[in-house]
Structure 1
Amino acid sequence: MTFHPTTARRGKTADTLFVGSVEKAFAVLRAFRAGQRDLGLRDLSLSQISQLSGLDKSASQRFTNTLVELGYLEKDPQTRRYRPAIGLTEFYYTYIVSNRLAEIAMPRLIEASKAFGTTVNLCEPSGTEIVYTIRVPHEKAFFRATVPGRRMPAYCTASGIVMLAHRPEAEMEAILKASQYRPITRWTVTDPAEARERIEAARRDGYAVCAQQAIIHEISTAAPVLNSEGRAFAAVQVPVYMPEWDEDSVREKIVPLVIETARAISGSYFVEH
């Protein structure tokens, strides 16, 4: 559970055990994430899969057909477009039930959600991004904010900032260097220097509060889950929304409970692990 300098494969020519065809199959699957994120599409044509995966059309067709046969993609017989199939959910289930952190965190996240009256999330690092691995949703949350597995940039999200703040300096710098500074909202930080300032503040304060960085009207608070050496390997994150909340009320009422929840998970993980 560590940040890597990039989500791309490292040592591409040196690793003789690496199977390129497996990489291509996953490139096809990842094309659907890119289609949803960048194009707003729930399904893709073969040409779109080829474009988004970087594979030629012949290879895309072979890998796509294989994934349909295995139950990981499905094809609409009328439109001839492809979409993710229910078989993909087995990977998330396998990850979560094998993850001791998830087992320890879940009851504490549920308890925190009841106390906050809002959604509470557990985030983990992945490359230059953070992943929402557990989400305890609240009735006010919109759909995509309730779905586990969503990825967001680390450099501009509260969870990413607190995890970067509690990593070695060289590792943090590698992540920032590899990040793509693109605006998600009109308020998203896109200046690496400002991102570093926010990380330094989180290192000093032990938490981060971000307003409208990833979602309009959302104020996100996060605190790190730390190992015995003080390195972050996860974060507890709580989103609330304007105008019901402002940054001052978040710091007064939400921040202490987020820190308390993250510390409880940290303590229990290393006692029980």
Structure 2
Amino acid sequence: MPMLLIKGFYDVKGSQPDGDTVHFTAENPAEWGLVGGGPGRAVEHSVVGRAKLRLDAVDALETHYGANRVHQPLRFAHAARDELLSRLGFTDVRRRPDETVTATTPDTVPGFVLTRGTDVHGRCIALAGHGTAPAASGREIDVDVTVLRTTVNHHLLTTGLVYPTFYRSLFTGLRGEMAAAAKEARDAGRGLWPSDVTTTGAKITGLASLTDNVVVLPKLFRRLVDHLHLGTMPPACFPAFLAGVGDRFSILSTGERCLGLHRVVEVTNGRTVRMTQPPEDLLFEDA
């Protein structure tokens, strides 16, 4: 799979990194212009080349979602964030109460990103590498499973601290490796998996159940929060809400193309929400 390699360094001071987003500064800011993303979807970056990365193929529990900055159970949300920063090479991270980083040791760590595009928010969708880059910056390289296994994205899946969440921009071979890593972590009971109720059923009694107790796929969490904030429909109406949102995805095991997560979500007993397919069996349209 050909991907653009950009060298630079990670610098998280002044930001609020979580388990799947982190700031990266390109050595040559002009190289951000090489990242394809379609009209109006260039990588947003500062004059010195600092940009926000969205880690490809993984989704960590939310630490501050939406205008109300709601979170998922922080035990796992913070564990994913801390593992990400540790894997990059930060040995000490200090924060304010609002989770803004005030200082790190070291100040920056060298690294590189492998990318094929951006999301609708101008973030670079990337495989995050640390240390010495395997090739020259500003050029495309072939990213195979061997290279993939060196990335932070793959590492986070092996720890069981993030969910696999796939989009069409990731090639089939790499996606298969990421799915295998997630399944192995789940089977071994690592990280969040023993607490996960995405497919077994989450009892939703209000927002507090989502923020404090329920461990589910973050995409499902975000849709549940948006539904609850409407304040007018009970959980039993959640499938109708999902149909209106209209997420586009395919079920990999059947090849079925779907519009709306109501195709893979059911509500029983009026309050128990579950997905009928595991996260790695879903392939979402690119954001």
TM-score range, shorter chain: under 0.3
Of Structure 1 and Structure 2, which has the larger fraction of its residues in strand?
2
When normalised by structure 1's length, the TM-score is 0.26
Of Structure 1 and Structure 2, which has the larger fraction of its residues in helix?
1
Compare CA radii of gyration and give the structure with the larger one. 1
When normalised by structure 2's length, the TM-score is 0.25
The structure whose RCO (Cα within 8 Å, separation 6+) is larger is 2
